[in-house]
């Protein structure tokens, strides 16, 4: 009994010490929510159902969706004028785009087919195939990253477009679904989350969301004329450090600056 009592006492002491340690450990902080400041407003085509967007050499490149009106367009930033375009086959639903070298790569939603285009002429160079859905693309100069609506981003070989890796995206330990349009910005992946007014800041090394950018107060995000006309489309001008955002069929494209989380201001 003496030995047993001593063992019980030691166990109770150990449990008490563990409880005190846990009590002294601060709870994990919620992910920071960043704000924004609009720096400029540009016109955007209200018939452009934005699925992909990037900025290159002074112009915007935009991929639009919907059957019968999916296209890839080169647009003048200042006034939104379409300088060049090519239609996606009308029975396909166009999705994300990205540039790679002298090519432009584009996806379709559920047709399991992507296209390779000449970046200068928009002449079709070929096709490639992939399982599942195609949502969006971005690149970091070494690899292409593809979203498909799941929490997993595919890592593609830019030459063959074969999958060579994957990144599982989580926020506070939970998988993030509906990852939509993507943009590589200063070493992180910014991602629209479909049907929300937020952009996720993703660490590509871990897949962890390090914070959210709340754009829900943009005029079009507050007053959706169409429930499908959601925030979607991120482009980055690395030369001048300018970030652009828009949405499906929105009348405006916004140049924004990310501001500190409210608690840090």
Q: How many CB atoms lie within 10 A of CB 29?
A: 8
Asked if residue 100 belongs to a domain, the reply is: yes
Residue 49 contacts residue 233 (beta carbons within 8 Å): no
In a domain, 85, yes or no: yes
d(C-alpha 29, C-alpha 157), whole Å: 36
Structural domain contains residue 4: no
Query: Three-state SS for 210?
Result: strand
Whether 157 contacts 13, CB under 8 Å: no
Helices and strands in the chain, H and E counts: 2, 22
Q: State the pLDDT at residue 264.
A: 55
How high is the pLDDT of residue 24?
32
In a domain, 221, yes or no: yes
* CATH number (domain holding residue 154): 2.120.10.30
The predicted pLDDT at position 76 comes to 96
Look at residue 14 and tell me if it is in a domain. no
Question: Which structural domain range is residue 139 located in?
Answer: 31-264
Interval 44-64: pLDDT, tens: 999 999 999 999 999 999 999
Structurally, how many domains does the chain consist of? 1
Low-confidence ranges of the chain (pLDDT < 70): 1-29, 224, 263-265
pLDDT in the model for residue 1: 31
Residue at 20 is within a domain = no
Helix ranges (H only) for the chain are: 2-24, 219-222
CA–CA separation, 93 and 228 (whole Å): 15
Would 218 be classed as within a structural domain?
yes
User: Residue 103 falls within a domain, yes or no?
Assistant: yes
Phi, psi (5° rounding) for residue 176? -105, 120
């Amino acid at each position: 009994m003496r030995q047993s009592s001593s063992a019980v006492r030691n166990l109770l002491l150990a449990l008490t010490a563990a409880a005190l340690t846990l009590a002294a450990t601060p709870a994990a902080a919620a992910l920071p929510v960043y704000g924004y400041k609009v720096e400029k407003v540009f016109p955007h085509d209200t018939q452009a159902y934005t699925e992909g967007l990037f900025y290159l050499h002074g112009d915007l490149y935009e991929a639009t969706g919907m059957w019968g009106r999916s296209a890839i367009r080169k647009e003048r930033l200042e006034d939104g004028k379409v300088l060049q375009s090519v239609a996606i086959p009308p029975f396909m639903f166009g999705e994300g785009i990205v540039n790679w070298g002298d090519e432009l790569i584009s996806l379709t939603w559920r047709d399991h087919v992507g296209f390779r285009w000449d970046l200068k002429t928009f002449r079709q160079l070929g096709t490639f195939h992939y399982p599942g859905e195609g949502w969006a693309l971005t690149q970091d100069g070494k690899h292409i990253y593809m979203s498909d609506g799941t929490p997993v981003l595919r890592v593609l070989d830019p030459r063959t477009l074969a999958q060579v890796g994957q990144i599982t995206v989580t926020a506070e330990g939970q998988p993030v679904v509906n990852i939509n349009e993507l943009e590589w910005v200063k070493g992180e992946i910014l991602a629209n989350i479909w049907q929300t007014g937020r952009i996720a800041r993703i660490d590509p090394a871990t897949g962890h969301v390090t914070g959210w950018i709340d754009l829900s107060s943009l005029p079009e995000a507050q007053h959706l004329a169409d429930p499908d006309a959601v925030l979607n489309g991120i482009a980055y001008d690395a030369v001048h450090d300018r970030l652009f955002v828009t949405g499906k069929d929105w009348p405006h494209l916004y140049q924004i600056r990310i501001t500190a989380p409210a608690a840090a201001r």
